[in-house]
């Protein structure tokens, strides 16, 4: 093989890949960024239809420009190029006898908590424990976060309250954070992410669509001499003398690099792109055993007028009408996620709905509205007892019940199913967070960014980082760029 041409080759333009690529180029490293799709952005990419800008995923940015994403943009000198738009009433919980507006302000926390607990029918004598639960969770000191990293959110809640309604709502919120049941997700990670959100007070959506963040990072990379290629699917990561040394594309092109960064899932990278034989047995075992978060079923709906006022909605639906947060029981709450894990449509179907054109009206033709909604669904690699159509029907029913008359205003509706997500992001199974944030997989125990194969690194939602979705991936990308910079400086990469 000839001398390496690139210092760093990044595979993928998701949030982690874009952040790492931009920061590496900024650090003076000769950087090549490869994307298999015709458009950049991974889960935050988009397409256009009839004058609507349609997000590929369903996104709100939990820390706007004030968290890891903002930090990456600042470090590459591009923070002012992205405008994160905040709406005072950014969301509303709607359906199954609940109607609670959510405001983007710390002051409203008490009013919102009161409404939630009142509508859940929590008795006055239970309230002190519930207040303590919230207070201690949202203000958890760092040393306690570390302790709670390895325990579940359910264990945390149970210390204070066993009210099933409260568990149901905690479940819905945690599923929004981590796309996984609250009885499996890490309480430490939940507290860490909540504190980051409260500190930032910036839940928002960027002007120009979710992809503008990635586009801005990649433009900054190009300004520093990086090359970005789309329709460049990596078939293989090349290994020579026990180190990653480049990539081979599906079309046969080869690029050599001193370091390779994968933005794909850890499992795909280890077992498909590199080959298990290049890793020690304990690493192979660890990778094979990683838990992945759920996939999703999504609707993209164009409306002929502005039907929804809020920037987003959390719609609660019950396909057979037998789930009510106020009267639910602990076993029924558990069954919701047991069903989901075993491929059955659960009794509670929560929809996460974002209205991008309420943040940036230019994303829809004048007077019209684009809404994007999803619900959690099993991985494509799991057994689906109920087929995707059953999920889709339940989603439409929940939407119709929460927003009566919406159907009259639908211009068109498209489904982005679990298989489409898997294929677009290039992660087998199509997990929304490819290394789930469960005990043993967060904090100090999160898979490392530096792999045991010299020259191979990870950036994205599979290794390193903390926080919710895009924030997790951006932080991982930032950590990866810092590690690369240090490894180049101290001669660890030759
Ligand atoms: C439906 C849905 C809703 C979500 N909602 C939110 C939300 O509201 N807020 C939030 O913060 N997060 C949300 N998330 C999670 C968030 O989108 C992801 O966690 C995050 O964007 C993942 O970023 P990533 O860097 O890991 O890469 P990804 O976005 O997963 O992208 C990986 C990239 O790598 C490319 N790639 C893979 N293999 C190859 C290959 N062999 N060759 C070349 N390129 C390759 C892919 O094409 C893709 O572009 C949601 C996710 C989904 C799917």
Does 63 sit in the ligand 1 pocket, CB within 6 Å?
Answer: no
Report, as an integer, the average pLDDT of 243-261: 97
Does 463 sit in the ligand 1 pocket, CB within 6 Å?
Answer: no
pLDDT at 128: 87
Residue 107's CB is within 10 A of a number of other CB atoms, namely: 7
pLDDT band at residue 185, thresholds of 50, 70 and 90?
Answer: very high
**Tens of pLDDT, residues 5-32:** 999 999 999 999 999 999 999 999 999 9
Provide the CATH number for the domain formed by 6-49+80-84+206-289+435-489 in this structure.
Answer: 3.50.50.60
User: What is the pTM (predicted TM-score) of this model?
Assistant: 0.97
SS3 of 364, please?
A: coil
Residue 39 has pLDDT above 50, yes or no: yes
**Tens of pLDDT, residues 109-140:** 778 888 888 888 888 888 888 888 888 998 99
Contact between residue 12 and residue 42 where contact means Cβ atoms under 8 Å apart: yes
pLDDT at 3: 56
Does 464 sit in the ligand 1 pocket, CB within 6 Å?
Answer: no
Nearest atom of ligand 1 to the alpha carbon of 41: 49
Report, as an integer, the average pLDDT of 223-237: 98
pLDDT at 170: 84
Nearest atom of ligand 1 to the alpha carbon of 42: 49
Does 435 sit in the ligand 1 pocket, CB within 6 Å?
Answer: no
Distance from the alpha carbon of residue 111 to the mean position of ligand 1, in angstroms: 35
pLDDT at 1: 47
- Chain CA centroid to CA 114, Å: 29
Does 470 sit in the ligand 1 pocket, CB within 6 Å?
Answer: yes
Residue 412's CB is within 10 A of a number of other CB atoms, namely: 11
Beta strands in 216-294 (DSSP E): 227-229, 234-240, 243-249, 254-262
Does 35 sit in the ligand 1 pocket, CB within 6 Å?
Answer: yes
pLDDT band at residue 4, thresholds of 50, 70 and 90?
Answer: low
Residue 412 has pLDDT above 80, yes or no: yes
Distance from the alpha carbon of residue 44 to the mean position of ligand 1, in angstroms: 7
Residue 106 has pLDDT above 80, yes or no: no
Give the angle 401-402-403 at the CA atoms, nearest 5°: 95
**Which residue owns the Cα nearest ligand 1 atom 41?**
234
pLDDT at 173: 87
pLDDT at 146: 97
Q: How many angstroms separate the CA atoms of 234 and 262, rounded?
A: 10
How much of the chain exceeds pLDDT 90, in percent? Answer: 83
**Which residue owns the Cα nearest ligand 1 atom 27?**
14
**Which residue owns the Cα nearest ligand 1 atom 3?**
58
Q: How many angstroms separate the CA atoms of 441 and 429, rounded?
A: 18
**Tens of pLDDT, residues 330-363:** 899 889 888 988 899 999 999 999 999 999 999 9
Contact between residue 483 and residue 19 where contact means Cβ atoms under 8 Å apart: no
Per DSSP, the residues of 162-226 read: --HHHHHHHHHHHHHHHSS-TTTSBHHHHHHHHHHHHHH---BEETT-THHHHHHHHHHHHHTT-
Residue 80 has pLDDT above 90, yes or no: yes
Question: What are φ and ψ of residue 312, in 5° steps?
Answer: -160, 165
Per DSSP, the residues of 69-83 read: HHHHHHHTT-GGG--
Residue 18's CB is within 10 A of a number of other CB atoms, namely: 36
Domain ranges of the chain: 6-49+80-84+206-289+435-489
Residue 153 has pLDDT above 80, yes or no: yes
Residue 221 has pLDDT above 50, yes or no: yes
pLDDT at 113: 80
pLDDT at 57: 97
């Amino acid at each position: 093989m000839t001398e390496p041409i690139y210092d760093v080759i990044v595979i993928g333009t998701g949030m982690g890949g874009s952040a790492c690529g931009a920061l590496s180029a900024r650090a003076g490293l000769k950087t090549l960024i490869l994307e298999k799709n015709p458009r950049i952005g991974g889960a935050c990419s988009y397409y256009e239809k009839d004058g609507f800008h349609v997000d590929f995923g369903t996104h709100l940015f939990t820390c706007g420009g004030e968290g890891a994403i903002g930090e990456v943009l600042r470090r590459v000198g591009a923070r002012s190029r992205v405008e994160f738009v905040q709406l005072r009433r950014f969301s509303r919980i709607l359906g199954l006898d609940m109607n609670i507006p959510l405001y983007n302000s710390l002051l409203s926390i008490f009013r919102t908590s009161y409404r939630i607990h009142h509508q859940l029918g929590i008795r006055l004598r239970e309230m002190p424990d519930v207040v303590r639960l919230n207070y201690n969770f949202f203000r958890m000191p760092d040393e306690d976060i570390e302790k709670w990293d390895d325990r579940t959110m359910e264990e945390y809640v149970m210390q204070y309250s066993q009210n099933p309604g409260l568990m149901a709502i905690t479940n819905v919120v945690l599923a929004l954070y981590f796309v996984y049941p609250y009885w499996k997700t890490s309480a430490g990670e939940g507290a860490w992410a909540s504190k980051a959100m409260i500190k930032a007070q910036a839940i928002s959506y960027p002007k120009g669509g979710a992809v503008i963040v990635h586009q801005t990072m990649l433009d900054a990379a190009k300004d520093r001499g990086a090359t970005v290629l789309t329709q460049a699917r990596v078939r293989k990561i090349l290994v020579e003398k026990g180190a990653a040394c480049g990539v081979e594309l599906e079309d046969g092109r080869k690029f050599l690099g001193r370091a390779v960064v994968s933005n794909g899932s850890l499992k795909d990278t280890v077992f498909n792109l590199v080959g298990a034989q290049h890793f020690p047995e304990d690493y192979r075992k660890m990778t094979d055993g990683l838990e992945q978060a759920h996939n999703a079923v999504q609707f993209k709906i164009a409306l002929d007028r502005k039907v929804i006022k809020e920037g987003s909605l959390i719609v609660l639906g019950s396909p057979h009408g037998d789930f009510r947060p106020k009267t639910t029981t602990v076993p029924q709450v558990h069954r919701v996620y047991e069903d989901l894990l075993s491929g059955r449509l659960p009794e509670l179907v929560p929809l996460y709905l974002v209205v991008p054109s309420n943040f940036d009206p230019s994303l829809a033709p004048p007077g019209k509205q684009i809404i994007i909604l999803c619900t959690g669904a099993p991985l494509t690699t799991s057994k689906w007892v109920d087929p995707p159509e059953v999920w889709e029907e339940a989603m439409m029913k929940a939407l119709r019940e929460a927003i009566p008359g919406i159907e009259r205003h639908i211009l068109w509706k498209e489904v982005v199913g679990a298989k489409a997500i898997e294929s677009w992001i290039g992660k087998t199974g199509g997990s929304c967070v490819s290394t789930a944030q469960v005990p043993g997989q967060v904090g100090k125990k999160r898979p490392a960014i530096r792999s045991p194969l010299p020259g191979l690194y990870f950036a994205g939602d599979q290794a390193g980082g903390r926080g919710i979705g895009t924030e997790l991936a951006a932080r991982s990308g930032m950590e990866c760029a810092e590690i690369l910079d240090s490894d180049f400086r101290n001669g660890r990469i030759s």
